[in-house]
Structure 1
Amino acid sequence: MTRVLVLRGHQATPWELRPWTLLPDRFDVELLRTAANAYDTAGTGLREVQVQTRRDRLPSGRVGDLATRAWGDRYTGDAAERAFAEADIVHAEELSYWFSADAARRRAAGARFKLVQTVWETLPLGTTYRNAQAKRWRDDVVANTDLFLAATERARDGLLLEGVRPERIRINPAGVDLERFAVRDAPAPAEHVILSPGRLVWEKGHHDVLRAVAALHRGLVGEPLTPRVLIIGHGPEEARLRAYAEELGLGAFVEIRGVPYDDMPATFAAASAMVLASLPSATAQLHVFDLPRAFWEEQFGYVLAEAMAAGLDIVASTSGAIPEVLDGTGSLVAPGDYMAIARALAAGPLSRPPGTRVTYPAALLERYSVGVMAARLTDAYDAVLR
């Protein structure tokens, strides 16, 4: 039986791991899980190998984070060594994550496994726009990976500009459980709710959603409309978003909270629209210690596929790979154009009864189904083993 070892460092998530649970029985899949992992993955059903890393041995909080950045992280201990030694395929992600580079260095040192990397990153940063540590990691990964799985065509283009040969790249979009998110016999909501999901950071554009809804409330794009807003996520911008909602006069209409992944289908079902107002953040500036600021644009957006499966109307910015993922569906606006968001909401979901569903092309939904992604993974693994 082919042994597949999945690496995600400290950021393994249940929604990304779902396709591995559907692989044929001839693949024995294990997740290398760290003590510092940020998400609960127990419900996936994958066998987990509990391992240590350098980060796990350092103090929690900012001191430990800074020490890890200075020295770099890596897997340590007998359990990790045994898992790598027994693996036929190791599957990590991205060009300059520590855990991807850890696997790449082991591959360069003679490990027998084949190395596969999922790549979401859409900006070809090369070595010029990476810090000294990330440069080394990127070089190790590019040199020693057997197969790259690009989540989008845009990610594939980025890999080509990074110098990866075309024959080492396959397109493999993310997959979600379409049945899980499909809305059936749900009661129609009594009022319009606009969802804005994503980590509470500036580049996710939640503040632009608040501006758009404030414009609707004040009648700046026609007759006043008074939808509610549910911002879903956690992060450093929470206090400022709450203060901004109050300042815009939306305090009674805005809720900010986390939603467990298992509750997301019901959350989509109770909404009239989802806005993904992502903003590109690529300033080309460096901190004094040669640490790049955020070089980022939206790389895929799982919530786009989940909202489509739920038949939820989507308004989104053109940041990164969003137009490719939507493929002609939904309403697109320029990043930061909050008045365009307001107009799109007024002309679309807010012109219909609350909770009205829309239909997305069956072929588009199938592209993002978890079963089809599992089939693509199977083909990729068969190819890399050959």
Structure 2
Amino acid sequence: MSSFGKPQAISAKVASTLHEQGHHKLLDDLHQGVRTFDVRLKDHRMGIALPKHMPNQISLFFDGRNRAEPTQLHLDNLPVPRNFWSYNANNGVLSWHFKDGHGKTQSGHLTALNGGSSLQGSLLDEDTQYGVQGVLAPITYLCSVASDTGAFVTGTPPALQLHYDTNDDRWKSANWIEKALDFTYQIKGQVIVGQPTYNIVASFKDEQTGTSWKPEDLTMLCVMDANSNFTFHLNQGAPAADDRSSLPAPQNSIKTVFPYMMQFHLENASMNLVGAMLTESDSQLGTVLGVKGVFQNPSIKGYYGLTDDSGNEKLISVHDGQLHIDHQPVATSAVKGSQLLYHSLSDAQQKATGLPA
């Protein structure tokens, strides 16, 4: 299976020099149908910003198992007609050129880098050119945790090691606290030299208290290798306070879901994570929690046609993990795993989509 951002050989001689790298499979697993890139200016000096009508996100859609070339391009929520954009799989260059609804020229020229984990190039707004980079949008896993899985920690700081066994009877019979933690990470697009290993930015949200924590980049080690093994270790300071004492039982049996250390492995084509995390103390005195999660599928995105019982065609869209109706997000909707869930649609929303309340 071909991968996005992977150089396409033009001869047998050239092909012999290209080595298979595991990170292509990792990214293909995580972004199976869509790769969405957050657009950032290269120059962050005061007073410089992209105009509001220019895209903050670039989404590339892929049909079937061939992910070498995208078949759709969306700028934010705007689908770009196919004759106004192109992608060259030989050199990884994505380009588009058209006039928007205000008659202004929109143009982009970006190159896929680091196994398709980032884009780099320029956007043109009339006569002004902006140097930009695109970073893959964050991935979120909704996680359950348990303190009685048999997971444990060995060693001394800074060489602690977490251990867990999903075949252990204690893991299988553990009292799991469901939907306790949102774990989010973003690939920074930097491959460590000589290794197909990515630097990662991570953040955490306690789903049951609503408390969020995003460690500063320089305070943590956060990497994932090509075999989908993830390591997070806070090397400065302590996690944010996360008081769960007022939660009902059994949720309050877990004092915090913010770790000093976390190790897990992605499995089932990266749909699930399983692992352990060390909380309360960065030592063997800490509490080790088993953790398992399901990812919020980033490929549930774009426009979908629906047909009601009378054969009438309706249109809905999904953006930023929410259902949109008439270009407005539905606050009571969310992507959970590979499902789009919603409730309490208004009469107008039901009429517009044919969906039940």
More helix by share: 1
TM-score between both structures, scaled by the size of structure 1: 0.25
Q: Quick check: which one's strand share is greater?
A: 2
